[in-house]
A and B are shown apart, each in its own frame.
Chain A
Amino acid sequence: MAFKENLAALVQPGLPGVKAATYAGATVYGHFWNEYTDPSGVESSAPRFGCPAANLPGVVHGSVLVIEGNTYKAVNVRADGYGWLYVRLELQP
């Protein structure tokens, strides 16, 4: 039997990995990953934010998200086709 998943339930505050982000003046919730990486031979991390598309209406390249006090710009927006967005982030100075 087909069913419709409640994506909002996956990003409830307090769930593991769920962080608050400020986007367009509002607080939204999603999963935030920022694991270590060094593909360029430089110590760094790869910040990404994943959430229901409804949490980031109108997000495009250059949209600003503030997470844990850091300001990021969206540099890649990937919709999975099922209502979920993955946003690659660039840490701003």
Chain B
Amino acid sequence: MTTHAAETIVAAAVTALTGLATTGGNVFPSRAYPLETLPALLVDMADETSDVQELQASPLLMRNMELTVTAVATDVDPTTLRATINSIRAEVEVAIAANQNIGGAQSVLLSGNTVELVDEQQRPVMRSTMRFNVQYFTQLNAPGTAV
């Protein structure tokens, strides 16, 4: 099976984000099922755009992939809950800043954050989804290797 460079990048992000002070080992790539233990991080890839950079025998593609990192936490105290989420955000941003070339990427830059507060269960849950723009290059015919 051929590994796409995007897979290498997401896997490297999971490694970089595992062991942070607040979320520890609760890091889950592409998790489809409900979480059991909080706080936690969900890591996944989203949309990607690409553009030809050099016309040659095998054109060079510049790719911009969205990497999503969702912090999930719960607490009965709303101030503590928000503070926990913001602590996780800070830890994630520092970890990503220190790993700008994960999986061969040129850069991994924060592009936005979305916060959702859900109150339909026994305790409030806050989800904060950080979106990072991952820029990387591959040859047209070699998507498995970031150059």
Determine whether A60 belongs to the interface, using a CB cutoff of 8 Å to chain B. Answer: no
Residue of A with least CB distance to B124: A90
Which of A37, A43, A89, A93 has a CB less than 8 Å from the CB of B35? A43
Would you call A91 an interface residue if the criterion is a C-beta within 8 Å of the partner chain's C-beta atoms?
Answer: yes
**Within the assembled complex, what's the spacing in Å between the Cα atoms of A64 and B38?**
25
Interface of chain A, helix or strand or loop or mixed? strand
Closest to B118 in A: A40
B121 proximal to A (CB < 8 A) = yes
Report if B4 contacts A (CB, 8 A). Answer: no
A57 close to B (CB within 8 Å)? no
**In the bound complex, do residue A40 and residue B125 qualify as a contact, i.e. CB atoms below 8 Å apart?**
yes
Residues of A within 8 A of B2 (CB): none
Given A73-B76, A92-B76, residue A42 in contact with residue B120 (CB < 8 A): no
| Candidate in B121, B125, B127 with the most chain A CB atoms within 10 angstroms | B121
A-to-B contact residues, CB < 8 Å: 34, 37-47, 73, 75, 89-93
